[in-house]
């Protein structure tokens, strides 16, 4: 569920976001309600839900209440329900409304760094102490699983600063960590700065070293590295993302949201106003701007690539059962090349990325896709 509102746009962000005003919020939520009514099958209930965006908890309190009204009755009992929040603006009463109304049990906080200098470089307006307060609020409100996002290889970040970020992050005892190397996307403020020569990312070697440190420190603290960017304490893996990495179907609602239903990939209008107008005039189905039926071979390739991003890797029996294809035959040449480069590790019935494979995951993607 895409809730596009953010208090301020981060310079590295390429998601469709918007400033919040009450009129805009009400129209957007009306469109979201219509899309949910028209696109979700009658009686269908989600087993996992991710409220992302944007910053879902940036909605006003009446907006949160409306969100609860739209989706209560659409979420199965025992579902995993996650929402993203900004540490600076998280309010206990909104969290409580989502917990009581929709069964929210996971919270993902965009901590990113604990160094004011680096937060400023990332264009974030929260302070390190806001993260500590937000974690306390989340725990007090009974959030069962808490994720902290961390960004590393920020321009100018020293190795000692990465260690301090990891110390601060671990001191908050999160259940889950999503750690991302800073990337520069076209069309963002960072992209424009990089194109003008005003921003230089650390070299590939530095990025790889920082990633190795993140991995080493989190594993030593008891986290399982279960997907390239994701680490969880036992029992805290994100079910929602695991379904996505298995290439299982999902609905995405809201502007810019992607869906994958019955072998068809769909993407909604990215611009908020275009999305709202399309739904207001054409109903919920008109939210979809692009549709693409995936050729079978592409589905097989994507499923293999997504599986290899996880620590479980490519499970031969599951692949056969779900796609009717033996990956060792379908990818005979590709797997041979990846094995020869030391990027894979063979285990009984499955194959997963080696440490080197994790480092060169982009090369694996090129090979498989």
> Where do contacts with ligand SF4 occur on this chain (CB under 6 A)?
6, 9-10, 13, 15, 17, 53-55, 86, 110
Question: For ligand SF4, which is the closer residue by CB, 55 or 178?
Answer: 55
Q: How far is the CB of 155 from ligand SF4 (least distance, A)?
A: 17
Cβ-proximal residue to ligand SF4, closest one: 13
Q: Mark 6-19 as b/e (b = at least 16 C-beta within 10 Å).
A: beeebbbbebbbbe
Q: How far is the CB of 8 from ligand SF4 (least distance, A)?
A: 7
Q: How far is the CB of 58 from ligand SF4 (least distance, A)?
A: 8
Question: For ligand SF4, which is the closer residue by CB, 110 or 327?
Answer: 110
Distance CA(335)–CA(351), nearest Å, equals: 9
Question: For ligand SF4, which is the closer residue by CB, 55 or 268?
Answer: 55
Contacting residues for 267 by C-beta, under 8 A, at least 6 apart:
256, 257, 258, 259, 288, 289, 290
Q: How far is the CB of 9 from ligand SF4 (least distance, A)?
A: 5
Per the CB < 8 A criterion, the answer to whether 9 and 17 are in contact is yes
Q: How far is the CB of 110 from ligand SF4 (least distance, A)?
A: 6
Q: How far is the CB of 17 from ligand SF4 (least distance, A)?
A: 5
What are 91's two structure tokens? 């309010």
What are 187's two structure tokens? 């069309």
Question: For ligand SF4, which is the closer residue by CB, 39 or 126?
Answer: 126
What are 246's two structure tokens? 């298995």
Q: How far is the CB of 12 from ligand SF4 (least distance, A)?
A: 7
Question: For ligand SF4, which is the closer residue by CB, 180 or 250?
Answer: 180
What's the number of CA atoms in the CB half-sphere (13 Å) around residue 269? 19
Per the CB < 8 A criterion, the answer to whether 44 and 76 are in contact is no
Longest CA span, the chain: 58
Q: How far is the CB of 272 from ligand SF4 (least distance, A)?
A: 13
Rg (CA), the chain: 21
What are 139's two structure tokens? 């725990």
Neighbours of 298 (CB within 10 A): 13
Pairing between β-strand 344-347 and β-strand 350-353 as defined by DSSP bridges: antiparallel
Question: For ligand SF4, which is the closer residue by CB, 67 or 308?
Answer: 67
What are 244's two structure tokens? 């996505």
Question: For ligand SF4, which is the closer residue by CB, 34 or 240?
Answer: 240
Question: For ligand SF4, which is the closer residue by CB, 53 or 202?
Answer: 53
């Amino acid at each position: 569920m895409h809730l596009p509102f953010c208090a301020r746009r981060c310079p590295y962000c390429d998601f469709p976001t918007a400033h919040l005003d009450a009129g805009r919020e009400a129209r957007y939520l009306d469109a979201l309600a219509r899309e949910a009514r028209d696109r979700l099958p009658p009686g269908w209930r989600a087993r996992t839900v991710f409220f992302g965006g944007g910053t879902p908890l940036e909605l006003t309190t009446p907006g949160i209440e409306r969100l609860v009204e739209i989706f209560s009755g659409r979420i199965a009992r025992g579902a995993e329900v996650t929402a993203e929040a900004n540490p600076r603006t998280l309010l206990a009463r909104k969290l409580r409304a989502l917990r009581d109304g929709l069964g929210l049990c996971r919270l993902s906080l965009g901590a990113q760094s604990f160094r004011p200098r680096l937060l400023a470089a990332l264009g974030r307006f929260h302070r390190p102490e806001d993260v500590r307060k937000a974690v306390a609020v989340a725990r007090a409100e009974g959030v069962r699983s808490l994720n902290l996002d961390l960004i590393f290889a920020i321009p100018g970040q020293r190795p000692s600063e990465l260690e301090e970020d990891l110390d601060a992050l671990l001191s908050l005892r999160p259940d889950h960590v999503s750690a991302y190397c800073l990337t520069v996307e076209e069309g963002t403020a960072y992209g424009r700065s990089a194109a003008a020569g005003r921003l230089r990312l650390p070299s590939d070697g530095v990025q790889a070293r920082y990633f190795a440190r993140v991995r080493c420190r989190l594993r030593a603290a008891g986290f399982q590295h279960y997907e390239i960017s994701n680490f969880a304490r036992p029992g805290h893996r994100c079910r929602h993302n695991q379904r996505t990495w298995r290439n299982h179907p999902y609905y995405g609602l809201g502007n810019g949201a992607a869906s994958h239903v019955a072998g068809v990939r769909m993407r909604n209008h990215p611009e908020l106003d275009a999305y709202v107008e399309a739904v207001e005039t054409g109903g919920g189905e008109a939210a979809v701007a692009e549709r693409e039926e995936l050729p079978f071979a592409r589905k097989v390739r994507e499923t293999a690539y997504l599986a290899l991003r996880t620590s479980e890797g490519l499970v031969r029996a599951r692949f056969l059962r779900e796609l009717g294809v033996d990956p060792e035959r379908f990818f005979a040449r590709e797997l041979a090349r990846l094995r020869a480069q030391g990027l894979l590790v063979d285990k009984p019935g499955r194959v997963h990325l080696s440490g080197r494979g994790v480092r060169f995951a982009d090369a694996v993607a090129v090979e498989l896709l």
